[in-house]
Structure 1
Amino acid sequence: MTTNFFNYKDAMKYLGIKSPVTLRNYINQGLPVIEIGNSKKISKDSIDEFMKEHQKVISK
């Protein structure tokens, strides 16, 4: 099984967000970050799981 890892810029593209503040909020809410040396990475699997756990159904 191959896991894709994103830097912050690519993670934001994958998530469809433009604000680093939004990504920081996700990280503060529990999105896991992996530090490899001076580099911080986020796995695609972690993003997918985080979004699945934090989705809300909004009804009118």
Structure 2
Amino acid sequence: MIEYFSYQEAMKYMGFKTQDTLRVYIKQGLPTIQVGKSKRIAKSDIDKFMAQHRVVATQNK
């Protein structure tokens, strides 16, 4: 089953407190869904977006 988050729920799931950060991610390609005045983000889209932007840190010795 696909879960759909409000912007507030998506922000909580992603671990940040301001909509500014969410807006940056949306501008970078995070898909949103709008039906009438209701805006939602699919949990699966958040997971896919975050996986695509994963950076593995390396330590320089």
TM-score by length of 1: 0.93
TM-fit CA distance, 1:42: 0.1
Runs of 4+ in 1 over 2 A off after TM superposition: none
Secondary structure of the corresponding residue to residue 35 of structure 1: strand
Question: Which residue of 2 is the match for residue 31 of structure 1?
Answer: 30
**How many angstroms does 1:31 deviate by?**
0.2
Unaligned ranges ≥5, structure 1: none
Q: Which runs of 5 or more residues in structure 2 are unaligned?
A: none
**1:52 corresponds to 2:51:** yes
**What's the TM-score once normalised by structure 2's chain length?**
0.92
Shift of 1:58: 1.7
Letter in 1 for 2:53: H
Alignment: residue pair count: 59
Larger radius of gyration: 2
Q: Percent identity?
A: 49
Q: Which amino acid aligns with 1:29?
A: Q
1:22 paired residue number: 21
Residue 2 of structure 2 aligns with which residue?
A: 3
